[in-house]
């Protein structure tokens, strides 16, 4: 099994005004598992396994929010918003076959980029998608047919990344599927093969079977530190990187919910999206709303100190963890934007005092590995 070393690089693209030359300064913290570079130096991550590699922006635009439940998406407005994110240097988009029109929107967007932006700009755009099949027999033709659907919808000859999910570990057909996906990669229809919501045991099995996965997308936040207890160590040994979602907990980790009272109807902000409802259940499993408020107050203090927002601190903290290649922030395309907060992540440096304060607040909660299980187990509990 090849062992690769994660590379974080900074790139200058003067033609688009994306990225400025900045001096680099590396600092270390005994409380954080990886070093941090200031300014724009860690905007990019190279995900790599053997000869396969893909450079992505470390803050990814998550497109689950296009699937319904967050507000009506106007197609033209959504594509214009995607262009604004890309113009601001946030050029990696994450989607899935079941995220409503997400793949179709990307196809329209990438054609706009081809027509309206220079070639070097296009090289920075990355579209990561997922395939979430039912646990049926994974034949070569079945896998090929489904991947071709995503290629057509996204209007690309080769998918930048295909992230594979499997519902039932008792059915080892996931190995067949991944081998067929690897064949498609060799044919040039996929550039990199990756996973989503696999646990540590299955990731190890997959790597032992010679499948060159470059990353595993898992839930990871200041509240949900499960990936650091098992998964990150395997990633450190193998070079596989983590792409994290739920990092701002659907917006719960924000000023909007600081001091919010959810016990009285209409007294505070409503949990009116699928992501807010999902991550409120995670807060309940971790320790409850009162304990979470203590964490938010700690986060607000740190955010004020650095002149940034709570979500910016939340993402920076996770990006600094062992094995993390990138973190997702959901985008409500055409409805709301957080470009400034997202770009502030790259210049934020959390010092030892900040990290210790966060750890003091989070250790008051429950160990979610003991409550829920390993990464992805929340999708497979009976």
Confidence category of residue 307, pLDDT binned at 50, 70, 90: very high
Residue 225 confidence (pLDDT)? 98
| Residue 24 forms part of a structural domain | no
Query: What are φ and ψ of residue 18, in 5° steps?
Result: -65, -55
Report DSSP state, residue 43: S
Residue 329 confidence (pLDDT)? 96
Residue 30 confidence (pLDDT)? 30
Least confident of 123-132, 226-235, 331-340: 331-340
Strands (E), the chain: 7-9, 26-27, 36-37, 44-49, 52-57, 59-62, 92-94, 126-131, 161-164, 193-196, 213-219, 241-245, 324-330
Distance of CA 12 to the CA centre of its chain: 23
Confidence category of residue 12, pLDDT binned at 50, 70, 90: very low
| Residue 29 forms part of a structural domain | no
Residue 270 confidence (pLDDT)? 87
Residue 267 confidence (pLDDT)? 74
Residue 8 confidence (pLDDT)? 27
Size of the chain in residues: 382
Supply the mean pLDDT for the chain: 89
Q: Which residue has the higher pLDDT, 46 or 4?
A: 46
Average pLDDT over residues 363-381: 93
Residue 40 confidence (pLDDT)? 62
| Residue 3 forms part of a structural domain | no
| Residue 28 forms part of a structural domain | no
Residues 6 or more apart in contact with residue 238 via CB below 8 angstroms: 1, 3, 4, 49, 207
Least confident of 63-72, 84-93, 222-231: 63-72
Residue 263 confidence (pLDDT)? 79
Contact yes or no for 241/45 (Cβ under 8 A) = yes
Confidence category of residue 87, pLDDT binned at 50, 70, 90: very high
Tens of pLDDT, residue by residue over 29-43, are: 333 333 333 356 689
Tens of pLDDT, residue by residue over 160-169, are: 999 999 999 9
Average pLDDT over residues 14-27: 30
Rg, C-alpha atoms of the chain: 20
Q: What is d(CA 229, CA 295) in angstroms, rounded to the nearest whole number?
A: 21
Tens of pLDDT, residue by residue over 345-361, are: 999 999 999 999 999 99
State both tokens at 242. 């983590």
| Residue 36 forms part of a structural domain | no
| Residue 287 forms part of a structural domain | yes
Distances (CA, A) of 140 to 167, 202, 210: 19, 21, 18
Residue 41 confidence (pLDDT)? 62
Tens of pLDDT, residue by residue over 196-238, are: 999 999 999 999 999 999 999 999 999 999 999 999 999 999 9
| Residue 373 forms part of a structural domain | yes
The parent domain of residue 53 ranges over: 43-379
Q: What is d(CA 312, CA 340) in angstroms, rounded to the nearest whole number?
A: 10
CB-facing half-sphere around the CA of 9: CA atoms within 13 A: 11
Query: What are φ and ψ of residue 115, in 5° steps?
Result: -85, -35
Residue 336 confidence (pLDDT)? 87
Q: Residue 17 pLDDT more than 60?
A: no
DSSP string, 324-337: EEEEEEE--TTT--
| Residue 147 forms part of a structural domain | yes
- Structural domains in the chain (count): 1
Residue 272 confidence (pLDDT)? 86
Distances (CA, A) of 231 to 42, 45, 110, 192: 22, 19, 34, 20
| CATH number of residue 248's parent domain | 3.20.20.100
Q: What is d(CA 158, CA 169) in angstroms, rounded to the nearest whole number?
A: 28
């Amino acid at each position: 099994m090849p062992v690769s070393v994660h590379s974080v690089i900074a790139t200058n693209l003067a033609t688009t005004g994306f990225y400025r030359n900045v001096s680099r300064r590396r600092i270390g913290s005994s409380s954080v598992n990886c070093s941090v570079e200031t300014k724009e130096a860690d905007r990019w991550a190279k995900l790599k396994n053997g000869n396969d590699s893909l450079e992505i922006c470390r803050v990814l635009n998550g497109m689950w929010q296009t699937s319904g439940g967050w507000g009506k998406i106007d197609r033209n407005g959504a594509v214009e918003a995607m262009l604004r994110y890309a113009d601001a240097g946030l050029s990696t988009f994450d989607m899935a076959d079941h995220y409503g029109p997400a793949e179709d929107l990307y196809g329209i967007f990438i054609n706009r980029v081809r027509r309206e932006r220079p070639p070097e700009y296009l090289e920075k755009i990355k579209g990561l998608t997922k395939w979430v099949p039912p646990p049926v027999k994974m034949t070569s033709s079945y896998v090929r047919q489904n991947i071709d659907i995503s290629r057509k919808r996204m209007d690309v000859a080769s998918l930048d990344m295909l992230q594979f999910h499997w519902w039932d570990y008792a059915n080892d057909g996931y190995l067949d599927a991944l081998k067929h996906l690897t064949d498609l990669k060799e044919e040039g229809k996929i550039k990199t093969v990756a996973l989503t919501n696999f646990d540590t045991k299955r990731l190890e099995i997959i790597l032992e079977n010679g499948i060159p996965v470059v990353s595993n997308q898992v839930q990871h936040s200041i509240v949900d530190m499960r990936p650091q207890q098992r998964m990150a160590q395997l990633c450190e040994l193998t070079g596989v990187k983590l792409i994290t979602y739920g990092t701002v907990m659907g917006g719960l980790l924000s000023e909007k919910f600081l001091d919010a009272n959810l016990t009285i109807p209409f007294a505070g902000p409503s949990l009116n999206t699928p992501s807010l409802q999902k991550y409120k259940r995670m807060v309940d499993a971790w320790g409850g709303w009162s304990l979470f408020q203590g964490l938010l107050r700690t986060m607000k203090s740190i955010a004020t100190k650095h002149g940034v927002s709570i979500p910016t601190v939340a993402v920076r903290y996770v990006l600094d963890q062992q094995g993390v290649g990138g973190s997702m922030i959901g985008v409500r395309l055409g409805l709301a934007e957080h470009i400034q907060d997202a770009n502030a992540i790259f210049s934020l440096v959390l010092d030892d005092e900040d990290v210790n304060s966060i750890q003091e607040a989070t250790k008051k909660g429950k160990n979610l590995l003991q409550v829920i299980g390993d990464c992805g187990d929340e999708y497979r509990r009976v």
